[in-house]
Structure 1
């Protein structure tokens, strides 16, 4: 039998040069990226003829994959920076001391070993997994979560004055990133929004506008939302009716998002609790319910200690009407005056839908909340992720849905202002849907990937 590999260079250029077996390896670099990847992989698992699927989380330990029972290959390890070493040279030094080079080399070798049996790579995140996908030697696709043209331009395509130098190449993606996305073995690029897709298409990148899988898996389980003003209620009815009160006594539901990377999340939590204290002092007309959606990577003990230091008392959920239909039986409930605070690690989607607004110092979770059409007040922290630079960039990414303040004492006034402005809330709802897209992207991407086999 002739050696078919020797004939590959003679094939017409319009024919595919690789014939992948039905194997897929997913590379992702962060907790949020892992969750996005899981959505797509779960959609693939539901196909009539499913693929053989594995994952390699490049940052962290891949808890989202473990929870979804998706098998891992290669070594995993949590780095001190949580994957944000590029934002601070000191964090890079800590990661290097923690074995970053050895870990990356080991992961690359594992990817190449996996690729020897054929298959396709799905890279999720930024240039790091994209580069490793190219080095694998097999076909690959890319879900770009880290970059959007909204970082550089508004909805009309007009460049922000401060970002004109960054737009020198015509896109938020640099030429070397577009080179990786335009190789023959790159079978598809899935940007996070329509604006980014359109610009990449003009630059010869095989980009497809299939939506943003960040918005998948967030379906509400209830039917009505509690909102601060009755005029806003007429604009947006979405998710919750669990507090047994008369309409005039319905609570203001505030989502708390300290982020998923430790130890930074603990510092963020302290900032957020300072803001919560100001909200309690300012919002006296109605009861307050704070919904703390805590990532599984975060230990609850430090959060509990900070709550007690701020005057919160741990109480039984039995006496709290808000707990009757709350979807996390393991949640911890706290009380301070008329205010209630619940800490949950198992009801992320429920918390997002039940909240009217958010105090957030997070990345992906903030974007998902904005995609539901709701306002966020954010403030910068110590980093390495949520620095003033990161917070400012996030306001460009998410537009009018984000209100950036400088310190916790300004949060209450910002929330009062936006929640009593129905016109602004309507604009925020429309902006969130446009920038984050509708649910269903994971299924659309999964269908496209199946076609490649």
Structure 2
């Protein structure tokens, strides 16, 4: 029986007589956002659960925006959550009180579970992230479900077979036949684990080799990306002429965490300058009408004044309006020769949808851009997030849709070769959509959670 068929059967199940009490555990900003997307769908259900949160990393602002109460201590660690690629970051967190914070969070979780038990309520845990929230959930004594955001079989294999790796140590990543190690699979196969939601179909297929209740319902990262303005709204009826005449749009993704994102922006602007020189020499190779638009998707956590200093230092002049419509009256526009550069902090979805290709030094944003079926060119930075190890792992995750270059000057040649090959662009489109999934995953997961955790499954 397919996963969607199971969910349709679940909709005919009689409603539970008491409201489910759900505690959400997540360990990072991106995980918080994914969790909130699922929770928003849960809140739209006829008999929604009472929802509580315990963010294990950071302050959980995504939950605060949804007015979901946090039950324990929250604190931002020095690493910002990026410890799995760098042992030094882990030691910084340990010195910053990580162990004490973890102990207090485990106690808070158990207090919450015990209090719900004394009240006779149904209680369950939703773990979002990696083995840390999964282990917390297993220790809780309640039924739980797991949304696995950190691991994918694509890190080690694709549909053809294992990926070649240079390091002998890397071969241990799937020594037991899966990217998920035996101890992780043990946690997912416990009786109290009612559902596991991997991030892609390949990972689900592999996990089903063991007694794990894995459901292939998609990746919530691809939800909520619909633009206010779509490119199709602004072209004439002659599609062939549109494609020949319209501007080339390059999306710029510097990441969201200062000060790293400011350093990434300086690197990206070096790539933009190299592209400008290349466009001037060979406009026809890039099949543009001579106009190029660079769209900077800038997080609200960044100061655009700092980014503008880098832009103006490279010869860009302020311009009164954006060459393309954006739902952002505060967007900043610059012009240099026949090119425009737009910075926006309120039109993220448009930046993803308008772009033909991206220059990327970001985590989630890069994956979402690729998931829309588009190529991205990545330049590894100094970290702590977008360092060479992270970028190399992301290139395995995203396959041919993400091309790594070592230096900003290499971007021009790579972009030229990508845009000259329509057959390869078609492969990239199919690859990105297959690896990242179709929109609507949050709603499908929410429906499944209610069936698996809330109806007839008292802890």
Normalising by the smaller structure, the TM-score range is 0.7 to 0.9
**SS of 1:279 mapped into structure 2:** helix
Count of residue correspondences: 417
- Is residue 2:190 matched to residue 1:183? yes
Say whether the 8 Å CA contact 2:19–2:47 is kept in structure 1: no
Distance 1:153 1:339 in 2: 40
**2:333 alignment partner in structure 1:** 333
**1:321 alignment partner in structure 2:** 323
Map 1:24-103 to 2 at 5 A: 24-103=22-101
Higher relative contact order (CA 8 A, sep 6+): 2
Say whether the 8 Å CA contact 1:374–1:425 is kept in structure 2: yes
Per-residue Cα deviation, 1:322-375 (whole angstroms, up to 9, x for no partner): 2xx301223222333322222222222121111111011111111111110000
**1:251 alignment partner in structure 2:** 247
**1:275 alignment partner in structure 2:** 271
- Is residue 2:378 matched to residue 1:378? yes
Map 1:212-291 to 2 at 5 A: 212-224=219-231, 249-284=245-280, 285=283, 286-291=290-295
1:248 offset after TM fit, Å? 5.2
**SS of 1:27 mapped into structure 2:** strand
Deviates more, 1:64-73 or 1:84-93: 64-73
- Is residue 2:194 matched to residue 1:196? no
**1:420 alignment partner in structure 2:** 420
CA distance change for structure 1 residues 338 and 54 in 2, over 3 Å: closer, same or farther? farther
**SS of 1:56 mapped into structure 2:** strand
1:293 offset after TM fit, Å? 1.4
Distance 2:30 2:48 in 1: 24
CA distance change for structure 1 residues 345 and 102 in 2, over 3 Å: closer, same or farther? farther
Distance 2:448 2:157 in 1: 29
Say whether the 8 Å CA contact 1:225–1:353 is kept in structure 2: no
Gaps of 5+ in 1: 1-18, 235-244
Say whether the 8 Å CA contact 2:19–2:48 is kept in structure 1: no
Say whether the 8 Å CA contact 2:229–2:327 is kept in structure 1: no
Say whether the 8 Å CA contact 1:226–1:250 is kept in structure 2: no
The two structures have a TM-score, normalised by structure 1, of: 0.86
Say whether the 8 Å CA contact 1:125–1:146 is kept in structure 2: yes
**1:242 alignment partner in structure 2:** none
**SS of 1:116 mapped into structure 2:** helix
Moved beyond 6 Å, runs of 4+: none
Distance 2:180 2:396 in 1: 16
